[in-house]
A and B are shown apart, each in its own frame.
Chain A
Amino acid sequence: MALLTVENLKMYYPVRGGVFHRTKAVCKAVDGVGFTLEAGETLGLVGESGCGKSTVAKSVVRLLKPTGGRVVFEGNDITHSGARELRTFRREMQMVFQDPAESLNPRHTVGQILEEPFVIQKIGTRGERSEWAAELLRRVGLPVDALGRYPFEFSGGQRQRIGIARALALKPRLIVCDEPVSALDVSVQAQVLNLLLELQQQDRLAYLFIAHDLSVVQHMSDRVAVMYLGKIVEIAPAKDLYRNPRHAYTKALLEAIPQVDLSRKRERKLLKGDVPSPINPPAGCAFGHRMRHPKWEESVAMNLSLSEVSPGHWVQPCPCCTEEGRFSGLPVA
């Protein structure tokens, strides 16, 4: 059984306006996303800003209550769980945020920050908690005397280590990492990535790893899901996805990555335009619509649920963005 199963996840926000504050439109931030995550596995989630990756992350740890679909963690449906029930699940699932300066309370010492999870969960005595906090610091490579200091006394990389230590406190099985290294310097980024890999090997942690840097995601992930406008358009083992992308959007994303390798200077096909708004998204294949693909109209009437093109490699079968669309996209009756 998978550690985490997400089925047909939907997160809609009403857009209100006018004199009577009526709902004018619906913002479909996440629209029918599904994936599974095994223990010890990393699933990377990539896409442009506004595609819904962070909304997926927050729905998985139930910081948001999804509009529709199911989130199943260790066999338990937590989609509609209340606060008390969630508190027990949160021992098993934690989150690391992008900006450690904003996600650590500036008025708490590092010791207080690291002991708080135990206090909330009512675990241990005061002495045990501070012992555990010291142990957590050691695991993320910070000196124990950090306990009495405040977050502002640390550099960005060290603060992110504190954020990771806090996430580790309750020995979770899943950590959702939302852009964990994008605020860090290049030389520090590698240190934090190494730390995350090390911790994963030690504890068989599962990561849902979100980042906009596709090279970082490739380095960290076993499988990668590509999101576009609230939907997953392609999901595949990392190697497969980067070597053999099938969806036109995935190809465009990969082409846009700047390369350090000078011998690979190439002419790039650049993606035009910006990410469209998820308010009233187009019908059918959203990317085909952005590209004004002549075959986009065909996709409107089609069933665009992902289809498997090779073992574990799933892609949205539309006629405008994939070769597969021609063969496997079945018209909806």
Chain B
Amino acid sequence: MNAPLLEVRDLRVGFQTDHGLLVAVDEVDLTLERGKMLGLVGESGCGKSVTARAIMRLLEQPSGQVLKGEVKLEGRDLLPLPLEAMRKVRGKEIAMIFQEPMTALNPVHRVGKQIVENLLLHEELTPAAALKRALELMEWVGIPAPDQRIHDYPHQLSGGMRQRVMIAMALSCNPKILIADEPTTALDVTVQAQILELIKRLQKETGMAAILITHDLAVVAETCDDLAVMYAGRLVERGTVESIFRSPYHPYTKGLLECLPKLDHPPKTMLPIIPGMVPGLRDLPIGCRFAARCPNAHGDEVLATRQPWKDCGGGHGVEACACFASKL
């Protein structure tokens, strides 16, 4: 068996702050297979974006640091790479798009120039050839009249079009992996559907793998193959979308799925809720971090000791907290 395309092992990321070291991501394991789309889901502050940034080695400096673990791209650990080598990985092998394309694009340069710049950096192309390729890319991601749009500034484009420009830039060097950090959160439902459809189409055409970071489980259900659920810096459950949506094991995953208003839920009735709120990073227990909000009965011991990871077969695994482990 070949090694998976991307393997994150035991990743721990911390931030040095005025309150001491805060661990934002704690011993997270992820696997991304070739050609698959992995959904990374969790609420704000759960560490999903930090995980992505750690993979790209784009953590905020100097406060953010990887404390341990490895990020293996086709068997090669990216974390110890010298910066120069890492720069060749970014964009060329792993590309990333962000939530708000307006802040990720340079507002004072025309979009065409920004796409071309990326091409010249990574591919050996003449400027004229790069321009031609930029036009092709823009057409590929469904930007109408690319020969006119190429001269536009980001602010002249709509949110959906800006995200398409970002995707065109990200895909310009045929990366093996696309990391999309909340790519549709700022967009309307109709445009969101277009962008997700576009990412799926491009993925099919190029065979690239993708990590989709989102808080929206419905988006994951529609687009992803695999799913990893994070809570307060830890991975709580992972598996195929099919398997997790059909039978979620962790009470947090269950709660998340239940508290969404669904179209077939009787309207104007109380929704099932997860009581309380996401805990802060400053005083997290060693054990189960969801315990304070967990509907299951549990003793204090689940807080004091790290709960074991359990594989349930078919790639479906869960942090098997004592409160439900006996039922697995």
The stretch among A84-92, A110-118, A165-173, A250-258 that forms the contact with chain B is A250-258
- Contact between B222 and A274 (Cβ–Cβ < 8 Å)? no
A262 to B113, CA, bound (A): 42
Q: Which of B159, B217, B222, B273 contacts A191 (CB 8 A)?
A: B273
| A144 adjacent to chain B (CB < 8 Å) | no
A185's partner among B44, B158, B269, B271 (CB-CB below 8 A) is B44
Is A219's CB under 8 angstroms from B265's CB? yes
A187 nearest CB neighbor, chain B only: B274
Q: How far is the CB of A98 from chain B (nearest CB, A)?
A: 13
CB <8 Å contact, B188 and A49? yes
User: Chain A contacts of B222 at CB under 8 A?
Assistant: 258-259, 265
Known: A49-B188, A155-B278. A262 touches B263 (CB 8 A): no
- Cα distance A259–B268 when bound, in Å? 19
Chain A contact-residue range equals 35 or more
| 0 or 1 for each of A219-257: is its CB under 8 Å from B? (1 = yes) | 111100000000000000011001000000000110111
- A283, CB-defined interface residue at 8 Å: no
Beta-carbon contacts under 8 Å, B169-197 to A = 188-194, 196-197
Pick the residue among B215, B219, B272 that contacts A190 (CB under 8 A): B272
Task: Specify the chain B residue showing the minimal Cβ separation from A255.
Answer: B193
Partner-contacting stretch, out of B49-57, B238-246, B308-316, B318-326: B238-246
CB pair B189 A186 closer than 8 Å: no
Q: Contact check, B189 vs A257: say whether CB atoms are below 8 A apart.
A: yes
- The closest CB in chain A to the CB of B267 belongs to A219
B145 proximal to A (CB < 8 A): no
> Does chain B have a CB within 8 A of A22?
no
B43 contacts the other chain (CB 8 A): yes
Give complex CA distance A218, B271 in Å. Answer: 13
**A260 vs B257: C-alpha distance when bound (angstroms):** 8
Q: A256-B193, A258-B216, A260-B245 are in contact. Are A157 and B268 (CB under 8 A)?
A: no
Of A13-21, A120-128, A208-216, the segment with at least 4 beta carbons within 8 Å of chain B is A208-216
User: Is the beta-carbon distance between B274 and A274 smaller than 8 angstroms?
Assistant: no
B255 surroundings in chain A (CB, below 8 A) = 187
Query: Of A188, A213, A252, which is in contact with the most chain B CB atoms at under 10 Å from its CB?
Result: A188
Instruction: Tally the A-B contacts, defined by beta carbons under 8 Å.
Output: 138
Supposing A186-B256, A187-B259, A222-B268 touch, asked if A262 and B192 sit within 8 A by C-beta, the answer is: no
The reply on A39 being an interface residue by CB < 8 A is no
Give 1 or 0 for each of B204-232: 1 = CB within 8 Å of chain A CB: 00000000000111110110000000000
Q: Does B262 contact A (CB under 8 A)?
A: yes
- Shortest CB-to-CB span from A288 to chain B, Å, is 16
Say whether A48 faces chain B, with CB atoms less than 8 Å apart. Answer: yes
Residues of A within 8 A of B43 (CB): 185-188
Q: Smallest CB-CB separation from B158: which chain A residue?
A: A274
Contacts of A216 in B (CB 8 A): 261
CB distance from A226 to the nearest CB of B (A): 12
Contact partners of B217 in chain A: CB under 8 A: 186, 260
Across the two chains, which residue of chain A brings its CB closest to B252?
A: A187
Residue of A nearest to B198 (CB): A270
- Determine how close the nearest CB of chain A comes to the CB of B204; give it in whole angstroms: 14
Known: A215-B263, A260-B217. A268 touches B193 (CB 8 A): yes
Given contacts A215-B263, A222-B268, A270-B193, whether A262 and B242 have CB atoms under 8 Å apart is yes
In the bound complex, do residue B221 and residue A270 qualify as a contact, i.e. CB atoms below 8 Å apart? no
The verdict on A258 contacting B242 (CB below 8 Å), with A158-B277, A252-B190, A274-B191 known, is no
A194 proximal to B (CB < 8 A): yes
Of A212, A259, A268, the residue contacting B218 (CB under 8 A) is: A259
B160 interface residue (CB < 8 Å to A): yes
Check A219–B194 contact: CB distance below 8 A: no
**Residue from A49, A242, A270 within 8 A of B194 (CB atoms):** A270
Given A186-B43, A252-B190, answer yes or no on A219-B268 (Cβ-Cβ < 8 Å).
yes
A188 engages B277 (CB within 8 Å): yes
A selection of 23 A-B contacts at a CB cut-off of 8 Å is A185-B277, A186-B43, A187-B273, A189-B259, A190-B272, A191-B273, A191-B275, A193-B261, A194-B270, A198-B270, A214-B189, A219-B265, A220-B268, A238-B267, A242-B263, A252-B190, A256-B193, A257-B218, A257-B263, A260-B218, A260-B260, A271-B194, A275-B158
Residues on A lying within 8 angstroms of B by beta carbon are 42, 48-49, 155-158, 185-191, 193-194, 197-198, 212-216, 218-222, 238-239, 242, 252-253, 255-262, 265, 268, 270-272, 274-275
